Chains A and B, each alone.
Chain A
Amino acid sequence: MADQTLPIPGSLRATPSRGAALLEWLHGWVVTVDHKKLGILYVVYAIFFLLVAGAEALAMRIQLAVPHNHFLGPETYNEFFTMHGTTMVFLVGMPILFGFANYLVPLMVGARDMAFPRLNAFSFWLTAFGGLLLYFSFVGGFGLYGMGAAPDVSWWAYAPLTAKAFSPGHNTDYWALSLIVMGFGTLGAAINTLATAFSMRCRGMTLFRMPLFVWLMVVTSGLTLITITPLTAAQIMLTIDRYLGGHFFDTQAGGSATVWMHFFWIFGHPEVYVLILPAFGIASEVIPVFSRKAIFGYPVMVAASVGIAFVSVTVWAHHMFTIGMTSVSNSFFVLSTMMVGIPTGIKIFNWIATMWGGKIRFATPMLFATAFLFQFLIAGLTGIMLSVAPWDWQLHNSYFVIAHFHYTLTGSFVFCIFAAIYYWYPKATGRMLSERLGKWHFWLFLIGFHITFDTMHFVGILGMPRSIYTYEADRGWNTLNMIISAGGLVQGIAVLVFAWNLIHSYLHGKVAGNDPWDAWTLEWSTPSPPPVYNFAADPVVRSRRPLWDIKHPNDPDWKYEQ
């Protein structure tokens, strides 16, 4: 054991000064190629931007609490909703999912690191740089002198609003360039995850013994390869238009606005699945452990995930039912979109079947996972409503849509991320998160979430469109908007409780031990936090639940698995 588990600052020096020690500690994090440290960096980075984007959302909700409010001007409001969307997808969603992939995939497949540790560090720092570039626009949008401006063209950035003629200045350039940079970072992370899952598995870890989380990360990474790249391509075209005078999306010179829409949503819709599939993976780890049962229908779960990925690349134009496609194309995208509901429904049934007959322990991770099931069910059903093209002609770009996708991205993705943090925090830090604060966090967030997003459906049905910085007082939307904003505040408080829990428990939390949840996958067989090399001896597995086999030598899984 030549390696230290963590670099102990200054331990090699006779008289280390505090400053030097701090510098060395920091240096350790910056130059690290260890998958666990990079995973933590990704997650911390994402949580930081979660707070930033959450603050932007709160500011928008204050603005909309009453009609004709002057809290934010139109420019600022438009910047905030553009930045909120872009940040949540690219600086929170993507980094946090690849953070978990980084931390967990090697541990779960019994490897000592990712396939390409240096590529891994490179990918993270590219992503980090992309995020800084995006936020630098607040300072540098119109040049360093004068107040800057953040991108304000909405996160779907429809052409030709992004053309030089309609978006002078550099705000849109920051948006395009930072997404290109982050796109390459994400591509690197996806390639690395795939190579790790396929080529770094320990002895006996066949593809069909990989934990579902790893499977879902494989599917997500595969989907990332073919969805992030079209976005990168479209951004390159936009950059060519803006810097070199090209005409891809220049409607004055024969360019097409709808081509941008197609390219953007060919990325944009699968992107939703890129985010939600890891959430499925998390749920598929948490629910069995806290129900004390093996996952129900493992092969079907894998098949359904792959099925969702395949169907998801054929549904993009359901974001475009209102652009005047032919009735035949509209019908095609109705059908393909509804078909996503089939594998998704199968997954929900399998999770319920996993809980059926179990002995469910409602620790904080399980609370979040259970709430995820309810909310994801509703998100799926409102998704079916939106897939009904004629109804979508009404609901599209209304607050109903906002409610729907926050149900998937907050109610499902973020809830699963919280479940994951409560579940794996002990592994990463060696200390348990406080259950008491965790329950406060859960219930506050749950209540706030429902106050806000349940209400949003109704204000959408009453005809309120999205992306508006203010609204008329006589439309009957006032009370509902006030309620939505109040719910936002409750969620804000919940997130502060969570942040406090992260810090407090790091210093004072209960010591976790190797396996605090009595779980079954390989990461729980090493110390918490795991040493740099992960496993002292390369593990060997015979079933999907190697630790179950050890804990129940008389009734091991490999007797039953085909």
Chain B
Amino acid sequence: MQQGRSHSSSRSRLCTVFMFTIGAVPALAEGPQATPSIFAPASTPAHEIYGLSIFVLLITGSIFAVVAGLLTYVIIRFRARGPDAEHEPPQIYGSTQVELAWTVIPVLIVVVLFLTTARIIFAIQDAPEPKSALEVTVIGHQFWWEFRYPKLNIVTANELHIPASTRDAPQPAYLHLLSADVDHSFWVPQLAGKTDLIPNHPNDMWLDPRQPGLYLGQCAQFCGIEHAKMLIRVYVDTPQQFKAWVKNQQQIGVEDSAAAAGRQVFETQACVNCHTVVGTPAHGTFGPDLTHLMSRATIGAGAAANTPENLRAWIHDPGTFKPGALMPAMQLTDQQVDEILAYLSTLH
């Protein structure tokens, strides 16, 4: 495993130069960014890929310079002009030596590219899982993410929390990828390449981000009507933050008498068929686990910020944010919506 490989500053400078020459906007910086650029890697797999991509860019860039240069030269130099434009130029039918030369050179380039690529494939894909790794099971649903931490006994949705990995105490996250329905793909560009979630075909991937913060991504395999709103938020926590988060997630919700009416409505309506709230009769598994709904920043897999107004609108009709989401508008009265909202607001 290629833990502890730091990317050299010359590489990132090179990339910056490249990005500026091609005119793309964001500059390179360490750590999480609002734009999930693959050229702003923040985890070993993404770094490895980034280094490889710069190498490939240099080679392909040189090929482009040579061939496009030749082509430009030919266009300018051999344009028909002047008085003898009417005479046919000398006819040349081919040349074995020349053909041989431009066959051998590409072959050599392919050999070099292939060997470099194969090395990185094996380095990333076959990296052994260290004992210290955090295991998370990711289950893709139409159109949200379920995250299960089997060893920590935590179930949450759409917002993945993992601890920052350090050089001294590496703690990569190993994601076990499953699907409950159709194909999805887990892609957080700054952290790693994407891997698909396919029913009947479990996959694995790993991340080891160093810089704490929020990394953004989304589903990258068309999975149906709301594929566009199947966003991923990966919170990389400091060890202390992560410990606190785990502790909170493991707690069972406290009874709040003020929300008893709402809980009553929640449990007598169809809500419980799809949603779970640990410690209550709600055991549904089709929708996200709501035990700690208030600990999440967004609702609807990133479709909207988790504010009381948005949550209210969502309970009333999820189609407001996400037309085609599988949760139906439940035809609740305004009072029922208010009561459910009050209840959900207690699920910290």
Contact = CB atoms under 8 A, between A and B. Distances in A.
Nearest to B182: A161
A222 to B, nearest CB: 23
A198 interface: no
A324 B182 contact: no
Interface in A288-307: 291-294, 296-300
Interface string B139-176: 00010000000000000000000000000000000000
Interface in A528-562: 552, 555, 557, 560-561
B225 A463 contact: no
A381 to B, nearest CB: 4
A284 B34 CA distance: 47
B225 A360 contact: no
Contacts of A215: none
A240 interface: no
A73 B225 CA distance: 10
B37 A463 contact: yes
A294 B121 contact: no
Contacts of A392: 193
A475 B216 CA distance: 9
Nearest to A255: B200
> Interface size class for chain A?
35 or more
Nearest to B105: A345
Interface in B238-276: none
B71 A373 contact: yes
A294 B199 contact: no
Contacts of B107: 342
A397 B194 contact: yes
Interface residues of B, number: 95
A299 B94 CA distance: 9
A225 B121 CA distance: 34
A477 B35 contact: yes
Given A322-B194, A465-B219, A385 B94 contact: no
Given A324-B203, A458-B23, A360 B75 contact: yes
B132 interface: no
Given A74-B226, A342-B106, A397 B203 contact: no
A393 B183 contact: no
Given A161-B224, A258-B198, A355-B74, A327 B182 contact: no
A335 B107 CA distance: 11
A185 to B, nearest CB: 28
B28 interface: no
B181 interface: yes
Contacts of B102: 345-346, 349
B34 A474 contact: yes
B114 A338 contact: yes
Interface stretch (A103-111, A118-126, A152-160, A506-514): A152-160
A396 B220 contact: yes
Contact of A462 (B36, B89, B120): B36
A480 B80 CA distance: 39
Contacts of A55: none
Given A293-B92, A298-B93, A479-B25, A74 B225 contact: yes
A360 B193 contact: no
Contact of A342 (B34, B85, B110, B226): B110
A313 to B, nearest CB: 18
Interface stretch (B49-57, B282-290, B331-339, B340-348): B49-57
Contacts of A381: 60, 63-64
Nearest to A386: B56
A323 B74 contact: no
Given A161-B182, A390-B120, A461 B37 contact: yes
B123 to A, nearest CB: 9
21 contacts: A78-B224, A152-B225, A158-B222, A160-B183, A166-B224, A251-B199, A294-B91, A297-B94, A327-B122, A331-B117, A335-B110, A342-B110, A352-B70, A355-B75, A360-B74, A370-B71, A381-B63, A385-B60, A393-B195, A468-B228, A470-B229
The 8 closest A-B pairs by CB, nearest first: A393-B193, A463-B36, A476-B35, A468-B228, A324-B203, A251-B199, A297-B94, A359-B80
Interface of A: 73-75, 78, 152-154, 158-161, 166, 251, 254-258, 291-294, 296-300, 322-324, 327, 330-331, 334-335, 338-339, 341-342, 345-346, 348-350, 352-353, 355-362, 370, 373-374, 377-378, 381-382, 384-385, 387-398, 458, 461-463, 465-472, 474-477, 479-480, 552, 555, 557, 560-561
Given A300-B99, A390-B120, A468-B218, 20 more contacts: A161-B223, A296-B93, A297-B95, A331-B122, A334-B117, A334-B121, A335-B110, A342-B110, A346-B102, A355-B74, A358-B78, A360-B78, A390-B117, A392-B193, A394-B46, A397-B221, A463-B38, A465-B187, A466-B222, A475-B216
